[in-house]
Structure 1
């Protein structure tokens, strides 16, 4: 017995876990609770998890977990969406007039679309009546008269001719004209000749003004109408890097908010009235143009072009020459001018017309059918559109 205790004591002393002889036989050992107070920082203690008993397992299986009630987030009212203002007003058919008596085709020096393109657009816009009034040219009417029945649009033959009255430049519209009358060919020829001569004079003055040579021989053939406009010269100037650095151009670029504004100021100061490169044109007398339209069986209407700048008393004098009507409604004139023109037309028992002066993309602010004619004034315009039976017009 003493030997047993002696051997058992030796085992406890020499084994690392103070195991007794019984522990060695059954492979058991004493487990100590770790001393958390004296544990070195960073030392990892492995937690011993006791095996669950059968009772514990059954309790876990039968135990129902209480559902966790989620906290509902408070409902916050959504902020109303801020509608951004549209950059450009969308044109609708309600904004357009069914009558437009002032359209430009590519027979004009500044028109873009051909005659059929204009009829296609008129059909899409549900136009009732149109007239192509090209600048100093009546040739589009022969083509337009053929397209009118194909597109089921009432067409009035037209033209717009430059004229002057007491040194003021004006324009006269002619409707229901016999476009085959040779007088219109003569006006077109004189217009092309005049513009070519003005171009050459303008180029000469510009070269003297700034010392820059313009190659007329290479530039002129590129122009369908054999002209060099102020816009052509301005484009040449602003597209040349070296010329842009010259003082007479640079000052406009430095003192303008945009290049577009710089170009406008340049054209006004250099080529406008009183400018160093201004050229004075001579146009046919208004009374002669009026007589020519009447001789071609047409109705003469004073165009709204430049009417903002002409006093009422001068318009009164022009009406006294025998002009048949006034283009009262147009995007070219101010509202107050429209009212004054309508008053004068009423006073003279004259025809009232409307027109957009639509050129196509070259003048984007003018839209076909956008004539600024109030709906209540439309019956006045229809008096002129039904003035003659166009079936009697020459094809």
Structure 2
């Protein structure tokens, strides 16, 4: 029989909210984490910290620690690489300006994706994508590919989220657009300059451990996300060894985005956790 984990000292260090491409308001992520008995939950939206203030307020209400985080999109070795940041000063003007620049790049990419989809005969606009979200975008929020995928499903151009990505939005698909990206090294420097700890997100998703090693060697990373919803035991074992080899903090999280068409991506809050002592190491 599997040993029960004491959830009171567990933390989910990777969740997304409506501030980027998650389905729920930040306060709901915090409420769910508290209901599951977690000690802490991180809010790690793509290229924005817009959801953190609401989450921290909810953390005080529900008696759970909210870790301020971000997930920055970068490019290395011809692949999209994500760098998580924890405990940055979320009021740092330079950091906020840099994130705004990344969101501007994301907006330009979205416009190009929509143009490609229209050229394929699909009756889609960014206005329809935003309307399909069922709420107004706040100033520091952005539209992500999952929002476009939702609209493709609504239009009948795809059967579900996975189909939308496979046909149109994933790398190499019909409407894929590769925007200019910063390097993982730059993302690490941005996070450090804002007082935070940079961590390499879900290395198993890149399918190239030599590339991962190169990033670990070149970047000022503090940690590596060993535990993730899309990592199996083999990946966990490999990245635990890498963490030891490079002297990195071992982190983990569900990468919760909420449910789309009844399917939770990537995992539910609390489904992947690490012990609370990781927080002290990241600070």
Provide TM-score, normalisation by structure 2.
0.81
Provide the residue aligned with 2:80 in structure 1: 169
Contact residue 326 and residue 351 of structure 1 kept, 8 A: yes
User: How many Å separate the matches in 2 of 1:233 and 1:148?
Assistant: 32
Cα RMSD (Å) of the superposition? 2.9
User: How many Å separate the matches in 1 of 2:6 and 2:278?
Assistant: 22
User: How many Å separate the matches in 2 of 1:123 and 1:274?
Assistant: 40
Aligned residues: 266
Q: Per-residue deviation at 1:285?
A: 1.5
User: How many Å separate the matches in 1 of 2:25 and 2:75?
Assistant: 29
1:104 is the counterpart of 2:51 = no
Match of 1:286 among 169, 184, 205: 184
User: How many Å separate the matches in 1 of 2:106 and 2:208?
Assistant: 27
Structure with higher Rg: it is 1
Q: Please give the secondary structure, in 2, of the residue aligned with 1:307.
A: helix
1:78-93 paired onto structure 2 within 5 Å: none
User: How many Å separate the matches in 1 of 2:62 and 2:29?
Assistant: 11
Change (3 A) 1:384 1:217: closer
User: How many Å separate the matches in 1 of 2:57 and 2:96?
Assistant: 20
Contact residue 138 and residue 184 of structure 1 kept, 8 A: no
Structure 2: 5+ residue stretches without partners: none
Provide the residue aligned with 2:209 in structure 1: 312
Q: Please give the secondary structure, in 1, of the residue aligned with 2:34.
A: helix
1:178 is the counterpart of 2:89 = yes
Q: Please give the secondary structure, in 2, of the residue aligned with 1:361.
A: strand
Match of 2:256 among 354, 358, 364: 358
Can you list the C-alpha shifts for 1:141-172, whole angstroms capped at 9, x where unaligned? Answer: 22333333332222322111111123221111
Change (3 A) 1:354 1:237: same
Q: Please give the secondary structure, in 1, of the residue aligned with 2:225.
A: strand
Change (3 A) 1:183 1:337: farther
Q: Per-residue deviation at 1:231?
A: 1.2
User: How many Å separate the matches in 2 of 1:270 and 1:148?
Assistant: 38
Q: Which has the higher contact order (CA 8 A, sep 6+)?
A: 2
1:335 is the counterpart of 2:236 = no
Higher strand share: 2
Provide the residue aligned with 1:255 in structure 2: none
Change (3 A) 1:335 1:187: farther
Contact residue 203 and residue 214 of structure 1 kept, 8 A: no
Match of 1:234 among 127, 143, 152: 152
Match of 1:347 among 232, 245, 249: 245
Q: Please give the secondary structure, in 1, of the residue aligned with 2:258.
A: coil
